[in-house]
Structures are given as structure tokens and as C-alpha cells.
Structure 1
């Protein structure tokens, strides 16, 4: 029997009311992860992806009770203009709620105005220049800075009666931070930097620079290079030019990164670095992290890039919980400022003022354990702030 006009209107009205009364289905939280997924630094992107997905899997596939969508964008390497374009697309077209990643300082600095304008909480997994977090109120860092890991190393070197050092760094933001941190603290401790060498970021032949170090009469070289091929090239030149045999100590930070460590062979044994993480860190949290990472991607290395992404996802989870999954940049960042937790690297907290992670820094030496090279933590310098932002 056909419905009367009045009955039809009533039925439509009731249906509309029912739809309006039904709770709207919660949309997934969108997280954009920006990094190099191609080119010579593509391992960073792969490690970000493995760690982020391992973290989400460990939380049952959700963060803060909300479904999440991870959206990856490839910068290819240090490319500020490309990175800015990608992030603008993520914010405007993809409407991401959070951003994470960023390997290179120039890329992170390029997007700061976009982050500030859109109030998009952005977790820096790696880029290591101190000033980054000053460029937007919505930056939080779970990586490290060169000041943070270098100042305790300079103090240690002075205590070893090392009086004359050459600094040799890649000529861009983090390298300049590394040079400034070592020179200033080493001078404070009574030491002398006899020469400061800056190497172009595209350098592949480190022989001429290493020869200058050898000729300087220094007792040690403090170096900073971006991860990947430059590490292998510099340490190869260091050994082939006889610096180790002549007693010139190697002092570094991430140069014996777990991603490349086995490629060095026995020539790496004894190399000394100061850093915030080692894949060999002995804790239950680190063992769980290593296991989760390997389950997600058997080829992934537990190193500073993957642990920065893992902890970055923890921070994003806590921001999602605090905001109920809604996009609320100020509330999310206010929450991030209060966070402290047990990381695979040890106890950490976000500095409420700088939005940078405070963490223990360790003196490490490369050792061979069971036929495998590891960064053995031989001393803890205790919790370190970003000394660069304290200047």
C-alpha cells in the first residue's frame, strides 16, 4: 500500500533525525612522515617507516584508541624547496593531524613557517641543529643535537690529557654546531683546537682532509659527518692514511652507526664516540624495541634513526590521547612538554621550555662481541640537555 504524502514526510524526518542522532564515525588520525626514501640516504626513510609501523603494531594497530593512517613523503635528501612543497601538500591536501620525520636540518628549517601557521604538531625524529625547535612553537624533537652529545665528549677528552685536537665536520648546520660545541667546551677545559676543517656535504674523497689532520700534530680528531656513505669514506681514509697507527685518536658521535658498523670490519675496533643510543644498550625496553623492529622489518637496524622514530611515535600517541584524536595543536604541544618515559635509550623527558629531549649520553667504544661489532657503552655521562640552546 503506497504511503500518503504526510506519512512519507514523517518517515523522512524520522530518518533524518536518526542519522543526526547517530554518533559520527571517528575518522582516522593522519600522520605524515617526511624523509629520504630514495637516493644515498634512503635508509633513513626505511628506518623511520619500520620503527613507526612497529610502534603502531605494538599498540594493537591504534594510537590513543584511534585508527591511524601513516602517509610517507620522499625528500630524496637535503632539498628544502622540495620538502616545503611536500609538507604544504600534506597539510592542505591530505589534511594531516601530525607530522614526523626530517633527517636534514635545511629541510626542517624550510617548513617551520608552514608548521607555525597551520599549528601542526611536528616531531623531529633526527635533524640535529639546536636552533630548529626555536623556529616554530609546534616543533618537538625526539632525536638529539650535536651540542648535546659533543659537550660531554669534549670534557672527557680533556680528562684523558688530550690537549691538541683537529675538528673535521661536514659544512652544514649540524656540522657547524658540532664544531662550535667541541671548540667552545674544549677551550673551557684548557684544550686547544689546532685546526678546524669543514668538508662539503657532497665530499666523497676524504684523503686530502685526513692528510691535513695527520700533518697538524694533533693528538685526536673530532669529526661529524651525516650518516651513510660519508661515514664509511672518512673512516676508511682515517685508517688508510695511518692516523690510527700514528696515535691520532678518533672522537665522534654517530659515525659508527649500527646501520653501517659491520661494513667497517675490524678497522673500527676501538673507535670512540659519545652518543645517546647504542643498539647494544642493556635494558628491557631496548630488548623489546629491537625485537619489535626486527619483527616488522628483519633488515632494519636498531640505531639513532629508528629509535628517534619509535620515541617520536610515542610522543604522537600521547598527544592523540590528550586531544581525544581532535586536531588541537596548542593542547597537543602543551602535553608534549610534560612527557617523560623509559625509552630504549634509557630514561628521557621532553624539556618543557625547549621542547627538546633530555637524555643520557654514553661514551661508547667499538668492540667485537661474538664475531659482531657493537657500540659498547663504557661510561654514562648522565642526563644531558641541549647545551646549544643553553648558550
Structure 2
């Protein structure tokens, strides 16, 4: 975009935003995957948003909130940018939300800066995203936030050698670097670092490479959905656990895939900011409310990221309506009780501070289902990758 066109675009957006600042209806544009292999994200975002709206109503302060959904299909930054332009100019939205993949979020950063549009990230987990625009806020997590505590815990459990196996894109590289730095600082050794193409569907060669190194454990990170299921299933089928190579991960045992992994998943260890088995009244109420509205729904970290993101949007609208800078100021240190536990916005990073749970897969005696049982907690962890 030329400098002249960029200036014209910015002026058009600001003019539109100022012209509707008095309106009773506040529009929120949600850019996510509603088709293709990652459509579970869009579905779970929408289920969480609609569950929140059912509980709290469509009113936030003096305003009515309307959500407009756009399908980006996957990691498509050009499409994400086009959709954001359509939402900002044609639909005249006051807020944006969604953003599963890092490239999609980064693609809209210049647009939200120009339009002063608060944008709530429900998932994308690369630390540096929020440096791209002061209007980004994140209600998910970052990879260093969950991987560095896992590395510390693993070393304290007697694990001294690890192979890292991550998808070769921003969040995967973030996870690899954060784990390695924390693990080696404790005195552990990363004996091999494997980066797998994001489009990989056959993980057998990578699992065999892990086995050939005979480490105490393998640390894995892959995008949620088919990749995490495929890697974890291949780990189980190749008998790494029986040969003494422990599994360390983050979202690889996430709830949408967990039952399909079967008994071979029992004992797998992950560190994450959410478990559907979290023991609190707020968590139980959340799970019940989602199930009542969507009987076939399965709540996971994408669900809670969108639910808390919707809460953040409501609080901004209550405080500031469509005034973007005022909205940011109103929630920069907001605290609340989430279905994941206590959370608070961190003003410098605009990412949640939250608990990180050491989880182990086990079969719940009451329901007979596999669950990620919380076995330990590292309290109030911020974005550990922000200063890197």
C-alpha cells in the first residue's frame, strides 16, 4: 500500500469510527477458521461467545453488542488482512477478535493501529505479536509462558536429557527456544532439536529420530487439531513410553482429541493454563452452560480463550463504548475469576497473567472419561518471552 493510499485508508477508518461513536450498537468482528482442517477453532470460539451472551445478555453498559463472523480458513495472512479491512470499513466494527494463527494476527497490526481498534487474540501464542500493535490484547497464553515452567518441573523430576520436536513456525520455535533455555539453565541437556513442517501428517520418521537419541523425554509442540492428535498418537503407537522416553507437551492432550487417544494417553504429562477438569465452581458452571447450549460441545483452551476474550470485550464496551484508547486504558490491569482460575491483564504485555498447571492424563472414576488432571500449579505466570 503506498503512503498516499495508507493515509487515505487511515483517514477513512478514523472518520467512520468517529461518525458512529454515539451509536447504541457496538460491533465486534471475529476472524477465525469456520471451514477446513482447523474449523474446530471457529466453532469453539462461537460456542464460547454465544454461551457468554446467553448468560450476560447482549447489553454491555448502555450498548448492545453484535458479533460478526468471518472465515479465514487457516493460516492465511492476506485473507485475514482483507477480512479486517472489510470489517473495519464496510461493517464499521468497533472491536476485532479471534486470530488462531500468528501470521493472521500480525497481518492486521497496521490496520488496528491506524483505526485504533482494540483486538482481542483468542489463541495465537507467539510472544512478539503484541509488540506489533498497542491495540492487541491476548486472553490465551504464550508459548514461553507454559514451556519454561514445564522445563523447570521436568528437570526437578529427574529428567536430564530431552529431544525437542516442534512444528516449524513462530509458536513452535518460541516453544523450542523457551524450553531449551529454561532446561539448560537448570543443568539439563537438549540432545536434538527437531523442527517439523507444519503440513506434516506422517510423524513416524520424527518419532523414530527421537527414539534413536534415547533421551529421558521428548518435548513436543504442534498446532492444536489434527497435528497434535497425529503426533501424540504416533508417540503412543511406537512405544516410546514403554522404552522409558517420557512425553512432555502443552496442548497435545487437549480435550477435543483426548478420548480418541485411548488408554495409551494415560500418564502423558503436559503443562498448560487450562484443563476442562479444573476444580472450581466457575469451571463447572462454564462447562455446564456450554453443554446446555451446545450438547455436543467439548470445552478446551480455545473455548476458554474466547469466553474470557468476550468478557474482556464486554468490560471495554461498558467502560468506553467505541473509544478504542479509552477501552484499552479501562482494562489494562483487569482481574477476574476465569474457568481456568484467577487471571489478570498485565499492562506492559497486554497478555493474561495466569496459573500454569502440570497436568497428567488419567481416567476419571466418575465419568469414565480421560481427563487432564491438574497435579501441580505454578501461580500467576506472565509472558516469559516478552523481554526476549
TM-score (norm 2): 0.93
Matched, 1:241 2:238: yes
> Any residues of structure 2 matched to 1:100-111 within 5 Å, and which?
100-111=97-108
| 1:154-196 Cα deviation digits (max 9, x unpaired) | 0001101111100000000100000000000001000000000
> Any residues of structure 2 matched to 1:34-45 within 5 Å, and which?
34-45=31-42
Aligned to 1:194: 191
Aligned to 2:326: 331
Aligned to 1:257: 254
Give the count of matched residue pairs.
366
Distance, in Å, in 2 between the alignment partners of 1:214 and 1:310 is 40
Counterpart among 180, 183, 189 of residue 180 in structure 2 = 183
Matched, 1:139 2:145: no
Matched, 1:72 2:69: yes
> Any residues of structure 2 matched to 1:253-292 within 5 Å, and which?
253-292=250-289
Aligned to 2:347: 352
Runs ≥4 in structure 1, deviation > 6 angstroms?
none
Whether contact under 8 Å (1:140, 1:336) holds in the other structure is no
Distance, in Å, in 1 between the alignment partners of 2:292 and 2:61 is 22
Distance, in Å, in 1 between the alignment partners of 2:294 and 2:22 is 32
Matched, 1:47 2:15: no
User: C-alpha displacement at 1:301, in angstroms?
Assistant: 1.6
User: C-alpha displacement at 1:239, in angstroms?
Assistant: 1.6
User: C-alpha displacement at 1:298, in angstroms?
Assistant: 1.6
C-alpha root-mean-square deviation of aligned residues, in Å?
1.2
Whether contact under 8 Å (1:360, 1:384) holds in the other structure is yes
User: C-alpha displacement at 1:26, in angstroms?
Assistant: 4.5
Aligned to 1:82: 79
| 1:279-307 Cα deviation digits (max 9, x unpaired) | 00011111111112112212222110010
What secondary structure does 1:309 align onto? helix
What secondary structure does 1:260 align onto? helix
Counterpart among 107, 123, 126 of residue 126 in structure 1 = 123
Distance, in Å, in 1 between the alignment partners of 2:270 and 2:41 is 20
| 1:229-257 Cα deviation digits (max 9, x unpaired) | 11121112112222111010000000101
Q: 1:144 to 1:242 in 2, by over 3 A?
A: same
Distance, in Å, in 2 between the alignment partners of 1:227 and 1:64 is 35
User: C-alpha displacement at 1:127, in angstroms?
Assistant: 0.3
Whether contact under 8 Å (2:162, 2:192) holds in the other structure is yes
Whether contact under 8 Å (1:56, 1:63) holds in the other structure is no
Whether contact under 8 Å (2:222, 2:252) holds in the other structure is yes
Deviating more after overlay: 159-168 vs 26-35:
26-35
Whether contact under 8 Å (1:224, 1:253) holds in the other structure is yes
| 1:20-39 Cα deviation digits (max 9, x unpaired) | xxxx9953110111110000
Distance, in Å, in 1 between the alignment partners of 2:59 and 2:198 is 39
User: C-alpha displacement at 1:62, in angstroms?
Assistant: 2.1
What secondary structure does 1:374 align onto? strand
User: C-alpha displacement at 1:61, in angstroms?
Assistant: 2.8
In structure 1, stretches of 5+ residues that fail to align are 1-23
Whether contact under 8 Å (1:147, 1:386) holds in the other structure is yes
Aligned to 1:367: 362
Whether contact under 8 Å (2:58, 2:66) holds in the other structure is no
Counterpart among 141, 162, 186 of residue 165 in structure 1 = 162
Aligned to 2:374: 377
